[in-house]
Amino acid sequence: METVSGRPKRSPRANHLRQQTLIYLQGQLLPGARKSMEPMAGRVDDADYQVMQQFITDSPWNPYDLMNNTIDVLKHAASSPEAIISIDDTSFPKQGDQSVGVERQYCGALGKIANCQVATSALYVIPSPRRNRDAISWPLGIELYIPKSWIVDKERRRKTGIPEKVRFKEKWVLALELIDNARRLGVPHFAVNSDAGYGNISKFRLGLRERHEPYVLGVATTKIGVVPARMRLLGPQDAPSKKGGRPRTTHRLPAGVKKLNAIELADRIPKNEWTDIHWTEEDKLLHGIYAMRKVRIVTHDRRCTDEICWILLEKRDEDELKAYLCWGFEKPSIGFFAKISRNRYHIEKGYREMKDELGIDHFEGRSWIGWHHHTVLTQISYAYLAFKRAKARKEGREKPLPTIPEVRREVVKELALKIFVDLFGVDITAEYDRGAKRFGEFLASMT
């Protein structure tokens, strides 16, 4: 391959893809109520709606390769061994039923069962020792959940271009695959957290333990059963023999011993064993009252599992109790577990910003590849903002970090400088070039 200044010379097709990527990212970063293709094409120089549509909905470029390149760049630019991988659902309400993966299912964006797409997402979060709002976060991937009804419907698969290799996978399986991808790319972290939608699933927790991934996972207070970890259990040798029956192979609770759910366990903990912990979200001072116990998980039929962990209980007020299962930590403590559990706030905030600032939920196409192209490019836009935000931390440690909306406004100023040159002939080309160069260098490092 020919080289220019020691670098491989790009093919015309590669240059075209890079140019269209730059145009799309600029369209997402610039002001505008809608971040769908037609309005974005109207506000970016050199953009053509038909070309943009072909680039997103028909072009065969691999979104996973681009996402992995982005993760690799951020791994070197903004990572920490103290980071957490946070798992959550993100949903996209839809009116019709033709967009890939749409079904009536629980929609977190609306808080009810509705017509929507649902995706499993992973966010990388670096907690801040100074201020909770100063945590750095960037995306590790979003994978669309394809319901069984779509998997078996050949016509719908054909119309939306779902690849033949795509098979039905539960959301918790998609979550483990996102974590596996981060592990394969060498992304440093020390724990995983999620809400009860994933924490309730024993197979997900087992998958994390098999990978030696410490976790703090939310669980429903009434759906988990526990007994003290130190309790002596009845083994197979203690089971009375039954003529013609199969021998027992698992441990079980002694007669008369009742497993407890989180609410029942909380009621048994003395008041003097609860700890009041304060933290901030944005500029609000919040607090919770916490207690923890080392427990063994018990199934619905009283079988005792080998899952021994800490259960963290949190009271926000008299009527609200939250529970988290915590596993894999050398030095467990209430404050330590509470800090990890609170990082759930950052993934909720992150995907709200991707919707409000960058329009990740504004995609109007119906195809599988178009959806993945759009969401990957949105994650790159967000990664760029996170990259600039992380750089601000290095440049001014004493001041609070700018928010993602504030960082985006600064990027818009850089991109808008060209308008002054074009419309008014104001000679600020050098300043514009510096901003454009920073954006271009970041993009080049990923593509």
How would DSSP label each residue in 140-204?
EEEEE---HHHHT-HHHHHHHT--TT-----HHHHHHHHHHHHHHTT---SEEEE-HHHHT-HHH
The confidence band for 4, taking pLDDT boundaries of 50, 70 and 90, is very low
- Mean pLDDT of the chain, nearest integer: 87
Tally Cβ neighbours within 10 Å of residue 363.
22
For residues 443 and 388, the model is more confident at: 388
What integer is the mean pLDDT of 249-277? 87
Tell me if 324 sits within 8 A of 199, measured CB to CB.
Answer: yes
pTM: 0.88
What's the pLDDT at 2?
45
At 276 the three-state DSSP class reads strand
Q: What is the CA angle 22-23-25, rounded to 5?
A: 65
363 DSSP 8-state letter: -
**Residue pair 327/214 in contact by the 8 Å Cβ criterion:** yes
Q: Which of 31, 66, 33 is nearest to 373 (CA)?
A: 66
Cα distance between residue 116 and residue 104, in whole Å: 6
- 2: tokens are 């020919």
Give the max Cα distance, the chain.
96
3-state secondary structure of 292: strand
What tens digit of pLDDT does each residue of 76-126 get?
A: 999 999 999 999 999 999 988 899 999 999 998 899 999 999 999 999 999
Q: Are 66 and 446 in contact (CB under 8 A)?
A: yes
First CA to last CA across the chain, in angstroms? 17
Top mean-pLDDT range of 20-34, 137-151, 285-299, 313-327: 137-151
**Closest CA relative to residue 147, chosen from 114, 175, 162, 169:** 169
d(C-alpha 166, C-alpha 163), whole Å: 6
CA of 90: how far to CAs of 94, 116, 121, 144, 351, in Å?
A: 13, 10, 7, 9, 7
Domain spans, the chain: 1-61, 215-236+248-333, 403-447
**pLDDT tens string 118-128:** 999 999 999 98
- Is there a contact between 310 and 316 (Cβ–Cβ < 8 Å)? no
